[in-house]
Amino acid sequence: MPNSEIESRPDEYKVARILLSEKELGDRVNQLGAELAERYRGKQPILVTLLKGGFIFLADLSRAMKIPHEIEFMIVRSYEKDSSSGTVQIIQDLKQNIEGRHVVLVEDIVDTGLTLSYIREHLSIRNPASLTVCSLLDKTEARKIQVPIEMVGFSIPNEFVVGYGLDYDQLYRNLPYLAIIDPEQA
């Protein structure tokens, strides 16, 4: 990338509104971690996260879940073709066998539900002992396909959000809070 291009990049983010503060996120993530610890004590679950969006939630949830557990990552790309269908491409699959294991799928956000529906099926057919979805955010109004989500951090309105791992054009992931983007920046 030429220097002139790097130099023309904005050196700060502008957000329109903070939807969930760092404290609100932290408190809820700690609760979810405690609930998971309670549920999976003595079972050594595997937390599976979809990159990149889930990386910050996973890091905090994992530390809040004070029982032994493993973590695994998948890389997926979602393409939405029209209002009723979408395809999900698995760029990197799980590296380990989950048959007979307790799996917690840690999601950043469920929007249309297409990604979760696909990945739920992809994991279920490998016969885990149990499969629980824990999504930090749920945009219920945006749903195009009904899919079970056992644990939800927050239900949020149908608006595009960034921060706490979620991006717009690969930026904003490092914001410690969840925000609605300034439309002039989008």
Q: Which residues bind ligand IMP (CB under 6 A)?
A: 53, 78, 108-116, 160-162, 166
Q: Do 88 and 119 touch, CB atoms closer than 8 A?
A: yes
Return phi, psi of residue 180, to 5°: -100, 130
- Smallest distance from the beta carbon of 67 to ligand IMP, in angstroms? 26
Beta strands at 102-110 and 130-138: parallel, antiparallel or unpaired: parallel
Catalytic residue chosen out of the listed positions 93, 111, 138, 167 = 111
**Which residue's CB is nearer to ligand IMP, number 96 or number 158?**
158
- Smallest distance from the beta carbon of 99 to ligand IMP, in angstroms? 25
**Which residue's CB is nearer to ligand IMP, number 40 or number 105?**
105
Strands (E), the chain: 15-20, 46-51, 70-80, 86-92, 102-110, 130-138, 151-155, 161-162, 178-181
Q: Do 164 and 176 touch, CB atoms closer than 8 A?
A: yes
111 assigned to active site: yes
Q: Cis ω on the peptide bond leading into residue 52 (within 30° of 0)? A: yes
- Smallest distance from the beta carbon of 118 to ligand IMP, in angstroms? 8
**Which residue's CB is nearer to ligand IMP, number 64 or number 76?**
76
What residues are labeled active site?
111
